[in-house]
Amino acid sequence: MGLLFERTEINGMELRSRIVRSATWTGLADETGGCSQQLIRFYETLARGGAGLLVTGHAYVSREGQAGPRQLGVDSDAAVPMLARLTQAVHRNGGRVVMQLSHAGLYADTALTGLPAKAVTAGKRYSRHQVEELTSEEIEGIVRAFAAGARRARRAGFDGVQLHAAHGYLLNQFLSPAYNVRTDGYGGDLHNRVKPLLEIVRRIRGVLGKGFPLLVKLNCHDFLADGLTESDAVQVAAMLEKEGVDAIEVSGGTRESGAFKSARAGIVSEQDEAYFEPFARLFKERLNIPVILVGGIRRYATAKRLVETGAADYVAMCRPFIKEPGFVCRWRSGDTATVRCVSDNECLGVGLTGSGIGCSR
Ligand SMILES: Cc1cc2nc3c(=O)[nH]c(=O)nc-3n(C[C@H](O)[C@H](O)[C@H](O)COP(=O)(O)O)c2cc1C
């Protein structure tokens, strides 16, 4: 089985394979963003399935940043006891779990939160409703909220945290000239656009020290006119490495990117797979920390090739785990048949029905 099932570690977090379950909203939190029994069972099943690392679905760090229904929240200390049961369930089954921390920015679901959505730049750009521009005091409040979320995650026993700076959510909005046309110290030059993200990393390191695994999911490209492109993205990753980030997960696209979204439809042939691979190779050339590649990886042979040829150190998948949570154990046992995920993205719709994501086939 070679490299794919080799034991590795990321900043002391021991992993039993190089296969990662990428962050996946499940629609299984309770109505208030609390961790439910169903969600704990869901993660227990995933942990039994053999992935090296599980990344939770995006958890909002403050209520005005909630993106969708029954999304996990880590905005209050009251969330910690149930989250602790989730991490215990994963650890009992030999897994490792990192919490993804997020703020939706202008994509917040205002009907759910009852709060105005906050954007990097005011106006109707990419928004269905009028949004307010974040003030520098509010940006500082969001930095604090991410740090508080990370502290709660550690108290709940998570093995680390991942900052969601991809897919057009707030931290991506800051980085992207398509969303960020501010004229103050947070706009324009890349060094300005990256400030909130770097400040969050410093604040988390300040609170939790160097020994706590801290990962970032980053867009390699927004696939938008004026959006973030690979040259800036690789520079951002290098700055994150310098600040002590332990691994970068390479993704791409926002909800405005049409066919070039993060979860592309119709992954059928080998040529459709691993659609961010050329970008991941650019990150690998520049970085010394591990690169995790996500996006359309389906075949065992593809996963193995990506790791063995050094395109990435880890391969991450989302939709295959929805179809078959235990496929990593199956692959390890020698049955390397491809998961029968047809990438039709119906799983999202299933998740919105109220009883959690699942495959419609
Ligand atoms: C139902 C669903 C929920 C998702 N939730 C998240 C999320 O919470 N955070 C995140 O970073 N990406 C999320 N994604 C994107 C995936 O993590 C992944 O980047 C994308 O689906 C491509 O990987 P895949 O081809 O293996 O599915 C989600 C995707 C789907 C289909």
Pocket of ligand 1 (CB under 6 A): 22-25, 57-58, 100, 164, 166-167, 217, 251, 262-263, 294-297, 317-320, 345, 347-348, 351, 357
Longest dimension (CA), the chain: 56
Structure confidence at residue 126 (pLDDT)? 84
CATH number 3.50.50.60 is the correct assignment for the domain at 2-351: no
Q: Are 165 and 237 in contact (CB under 8 A)?
A: no
Distance of CA 214 to the CA centre of its chain: 12
Is the pTM higher than 0.85? The answer reads yes
The more confident residue out of 1 and 132 is 132
Note the pLDDT tens digit of each residue in 145-186.
999 999 999 999 999 999 999 999 999 999 999 999 999 999
Q: Are 2 and 308 in contact (CB under 8 A)?
A: yes
Cα(185) to ligand 1 centroid in Å equals: 32
Q: Is the pLDDT of residue 3 over 80?
A: yes
Q: Is the pLDDT of residue 361 over 90?
A: no
Q: Is the pLDDT of residue 228 over 80?
A: yes
Average pLDDT of the chain to the nearest whole number: 96
317 bridge partner residues: 21
Q: Are 215 and 163 in contact (CB under 8 A)?
A: yes
Report d(CA 361, CA 358) in Å as an integer: 9
Structure confidence at residue 71 (pLDDT)? 98
Q: Is the pLDDT of residue 2 over 80?
A: no
* Angle in degrees, CA 183, 128, 171, rounded to 5: 45
Listed in order, strand segments (DSSP E) in the chain are: 8-10, 13-15, 19-21, 53-55, 59-60, 97-102, 118-119, 132-133, 160-165, 214-219, 247-251, 291-294, 314-317
Atom of ligand 1 nearest to the CA of 357: 1
Looking up tokens 């309770």 gives: 30
Structure confidence at residue 1 (pLDDT)? 54
169 is catalytic: yes
Distance of CA 229 to the CA centre of its chain: 19
Q: Which of 89, 52, 50 is nearest to 316 (CA)?
A: 52
The residue from 126, 169, 179, 300 that is catalytic is: 169
Q: Which two tokens stand for residue 316?
A: 């991450």
Atom of ligand 1 nearest to the CA of 316: 26
Note the pLDDT tens digit of each residue in 108-121.
999 999 999 999 99
Report d(CA 84, CA 88) in Å as an integer: 6
For a mutational test of ligand 1's pocket, the pick from 19, 21, 25, i.e. the residue with the most ligand atoms closer than 8 A to its C-beta, is 25
Length of the chain: 361
Please compute the mean of the pLDDT values over residues 263-273 and round it to a whole number: 95
Please compute the mean of the pLDDT values over residues 240-248 and round it to a whole number: 98
Q: Are 98 and 11 in contact (CB under 8 A)?
A: no
Neighbour-count burial of 127, counting CB atoms closer than 10 A to its CB (0-12 exposed, 13-18 middle, 19+ buried): middle
Cα(206) to ligand 1 centroid in Å equals: 30
Report d(CA 349, CA 353) in Å as an integer: 7
Enumerate the domain spans of the chain.
2-351
Q: For residue 341, what are the contacts with CB-CB under 8 A and spacing of at least 6?
A: 267, 298, 319, 320, 322, 323, 324, 359
Q: Are 282 and 230 in contact (CB under 8 A)?
A: yes
For the chain, how many helices (H) and strands (E)? 13, 13
